[in-house]
Amino acid sequence: MNDSHTLGPLGENAAAEHLRKKGYRILERNYRFRRKEIDIIALDRGMLCFIEVKTRTTPEKGDPLEAVTLRKQLEIIKAAKAYLAASGNMERECRFDVIAVRLHSPESGSGPFSIEHVTNAFWAAQ
- What pTM was computed for the model? 0.88
Q: Domain limits of the chain?
A: 4-122
Which candidate, 62, 21, 55, places its Cα nearest to that of 39? Answer: 55
Sign of CA dihedral 64, 70, 71, 76: positive
Whether 78 has a pLDDT exceeding 90, the answer reads: yes
pLDDT tens digits for range 15-47: 999 999 999 999 999 999 999 999 999 999 999
Q: What is the mean pLDDT of the chain?
A: 88
> How many helices (H) and strands (E) in the chain?
2, 5
Instruction: Mention every residue, 6+ apart, whose C-beta is less than 8 A from residue 122.
Output: 68, 73, 96, 98
Q: In the chain, what percentage of residues exceed pLDDT 90? A: 66
Backbone Cα Rg of the chain: 15
Q: Are the C-beta atoms of 109 and 100 separated by less than 8 Å?
A: no
Written out in words, the top-level CATH class of the domain with range 4-122 is alpha beta
Cα–Cα distance for residue pair 2/122, rounded to 1 Å: 27
